[in-house]
């Protein structure tokens, strides 16, 4: 989430990046002297002022849920970069990304309900937005980015149980930090990002009864409607191709989450392909 999030700050996501916050940051192919150094990179150090200010791009991805459904999803994402400059007397390069994304999944109903609820990028009919503050260090061709972020996501989850179709909504809030290494060599950009985070998912009214029914067959179940978790997302990206592993652990007691497989460890692993629509 070109979808690079300073995750690739110079390549998105996301965002996922994401978380979604995206993993890389959108970038432009430019030249700052030499064969093909990106215009924003400069010859000796990172130049945030030469980054694009806004962009729009399409993303196709497959993850744990869509693998099981033999299905995939399409996303339309974009960003606005309201600040590009330096910080303090040391003039450390920095910039702010405001990202947004829309996800439409080809599946008619969601399965693997636990993963669909927990992960913002699993499921269908979702919207996400994030704010990322990026600090860039290093010199060409090696750059290091530290990027605290906040991500908000909402989506519709549909399911069927004993011939009864139910629908509810989720609101996901995520706080974390991206630690990214970026290598730039002519037209090749390679990035590796580790993003620890804290997340909270809330199921608001009027969908709480449908949520509880789909998970427990009981609309009055004590099942919690706010789920807290912590995790880490690891992302590797080469140009427009990304591999990610989002690993999280759900906190809660058996009384709060009386659903087998809800508590504990949950992985979401997948791949992403990006296509730039425009960037300026």
DSSP bridge pairs for 92: 87
Query: Is residue 49 in some structural domain?
Result: yes
pLDDT of residue 63: 54
Q: What is the DSSP letter of 43?
A: S
CA 117 and chain centroid, separation: 15
The radius of gyration computed from the CA coordinates of the chain, to the nearest angstrom, equals: 19
Q: Residue 203's closest CA among 225, 172, 227, 219? A: 225
CB 110 within 8 A of CB 158: yes
Q: Which two tokens stand for residue 139?
A: 């010199």
Query: Is residue 121 in some structural domain?
Result: yes
CB 250 within 8 A of CB 257: yes
Residue 36's CATH number: 2.40.128
Full-model pTM: 0.80
Q: What is the DSSP letter of 8?
A: B
Question: Three-state DSSP class for 64?
Answer: helix
Query: Is residue 7 in some structural domain?
Result: no
Query: Is residue 74 in some structural domain?
Result: yes
- What's the structural domain count of the chain? 1
Query: Is residue 4 in some structural domain?
Result: no
112 pLDDT band, cuts 50/70/90, is low
Q: Where are the beta strands (DSSP E) in the chain?
A: 15-16, 21, 54-62, 73-87, 92-105, 124-139, 142-161, 164-185, 188-202, 226-238, 241-250, 264-279
Q: Which two tokens stand for residue 45?
A: 């150090």
The least confident of 8-12, 88-92, 124-128, 207-211 is 8-12
Q: Mean pLDDT throughout 262-275?
A: 87
Q: pLDDT of 51-61, one tens digit each?
A: 888 888 776 65
Q: pLDDT of 170-206, one tens digit each?
A: 999 999 999 999 988 877 889 999 999 999 999 999 9
Query: Is residue 3 in some structural domain?
Result: no
pLDDT of residue 211: 94
CB 21 within 8 A of CB 178: yes
DSSP bridge pairs for 75: 59, 103
What proportion of the chain, given as a percentage, has pLDDT over 90?
Answer: 41
Query: Is residue 130 in some structural domain?
Result: yes
Query: Is residue 9 in some structural domain?
Result: no
Listed in sequence order, the residues at least 6 apart from 160 whose beta carbon sits closer than 8 Å to its beta carbon are 109, 166
Domain range for residue 75? Answer: 15-279
The least confident of 15-19, 116-120, 187-191, 209-213 is 15-19
């Amino acid at each position: 989430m070109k979808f690079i999030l300073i995750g690739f700050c110079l390549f998105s996501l996301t965002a996922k990046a994401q978380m979604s916050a995206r993993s890389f940051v959108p970038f432009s192919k430019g030249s700052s002297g030499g064969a093909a150094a990106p215009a924003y990179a400069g010859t000796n150090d990172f130049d945030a002022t030469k980054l694009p200010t806004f962009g729009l791009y399409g993303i196709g991805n497959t993850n744990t849920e869509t693998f099981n459904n033999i299905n995939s999803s399409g996303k339309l994402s974009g960003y606005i970069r309201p600040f590009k400059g330096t910080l303090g007397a040391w003039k450390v390069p920095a910039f702010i990304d405001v990202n947004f994304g829309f996800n439409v999944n080809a599946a008619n109903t969601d399965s693997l309900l636990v993963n669909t609820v927990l992960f913002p990028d699993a499921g269908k009919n979702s919207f996400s937005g994030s704010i990322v503050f990026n600090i860039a260090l290093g010199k060409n061709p090696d750059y290091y980015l530290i990027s605290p972020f906040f991500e908000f996501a909402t989506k519709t989850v549909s399911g069927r149980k004993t011939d009864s179709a139910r629908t509810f909504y989720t609101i996901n809030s995520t706080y974390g930090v991206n630690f990214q290494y970026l290598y730039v060599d002519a037209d090749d950009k390679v990035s590796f990002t580790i993003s620890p985070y804290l997340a909270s998912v809330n199921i608001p009214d009027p969908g709480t009864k449908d949520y509880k029914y789909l998970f427990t067959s009981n609309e009055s179940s004590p099942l919690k409607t706010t789920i807290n978790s912590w995790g880490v997302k690891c992302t590797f990206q080469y140009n427009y191709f990304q591999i990610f592993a989002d690993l999280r652990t759900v906190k809660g007691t058996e009384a709060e989450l009386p659903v087998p497989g809800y508590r504990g460890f949950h992985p979401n692993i997948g791949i992403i392909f990006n296509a730039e629509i425009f960037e300026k």
